[in-house]
Amino acid sequence: MSAPPATALAWASADPYDAALRTGRGPLFLRRADGWLLPLDVERWCARADAVDRGVLDRCEGTVLDVGCGPGRLVAELAGRGRAVLGIDVSGAAVENTVRLGGQALRRSVFEPLPGEGRWGTVLLMDGNIGIGGDPRALLDRVAALLCPGGLLIAETAPVDIDERVHVRITDAHTAAGAAFPWARLGTQALLRYARGWERSGQWTAGGRRFVALRSRSASSSAEPPKRTAVISSQRARKPSGESPVPDR
């Protein structure tokens, strides 16, 4: 499956985004064509996992793939717990920071080939990453292909009831980087409408943030228990870079 080029290339080449991650500070926004700005919470992303984050991570099962891991706070927290976890992001600065924190990460789009496809216990779509690609149903289909039978998706939804697909650019309010790319904003009810073929596993609010847990359909009753913690060979990264992917078996 190929990456949506507009989205992946826009984030990968976004100088304001990389600069914000390297300094740990905003301001940073997604800007619609009409000039409306969606603030991005760079300071929180670059800090350590907070209590709300840790509550989400407590729900993770088995091996964990953090899609759009950003500067790596969640990957680092899970790695510190001894969990098998891999982050992916199209930003080189994001991958570098994740590795610096002690996590494993690849510079990769979720729509590109990934290690461990069909064997991940949990996939995370945090910090608005349910919007990746601007097509929620296509993203859900891709996540289902990454998960093991009965695997868990935990997604953070918008704090308001919204179902919006737009084209945006990344900006620090002074410089807009690259071409516009598709993005989506989904509230909880909108996500549940798109999640046909998924089993609802939970939804909750914490610290003003909203989350949904969905479980992929089990292919058979003989699927491995989701709480397994063994590190599969596909997650032993030799070099965390886009050019040297995690080996697959």
Where residue 128 sits, what CATH number does that domain have?
Answer: 3.40.50.150
Is 96 domain-assigned?
A: yes
Is 114 domain-assigned?
A: yes
pLDDT at 120: 98
Residues of the chain with pLDDT under 70: 1-14, 176-178, 219-249
- CA atoms of 29 and 228, how far apart (whole Å): 39
Tokens matching residue 248: 């697959």
Q: What is the pTM of this model?
A: 0.83
Is 135 domain-assigned?
A: yes
Question: Based on the structure, what is the number of domains in the chain?
Answer: 1
Is 5 domain-assigned?
A: no
- CA atoms of 69 and 106, how far apart (whole Å): 10
Is 201 domain-assigned?
A: yes
- CA atoms of 155 and 127, how far apart (whole Å): 8
Domain that holds residue 132: 50-166+183-235
Is 15 domain-assigned?
A: no
Is 26 domain-assigned?
A: no
Strand partners, 169: 31
Tokens matching residue 14: 């976004």
State the burial class of residue 32 (Cβ atoms within 10 Å of its Cβ: 0-12, 13-18, 19+): middle
pLDDT at 241: 38
Q: How far is CA 11 from CA 46, 65, 183, 186, in A?
A: 17, 19, 11, 20
Contacts of 141 (CB under 8 A, 6+ apart): none
pLDDT at 187: 98
pLDDT at 174: 74
pLDDT at 221: 37
pLDDT at 225: 41
Tokens matching residue 93: 């600065």
Is 249 domain-assigned?
A: no
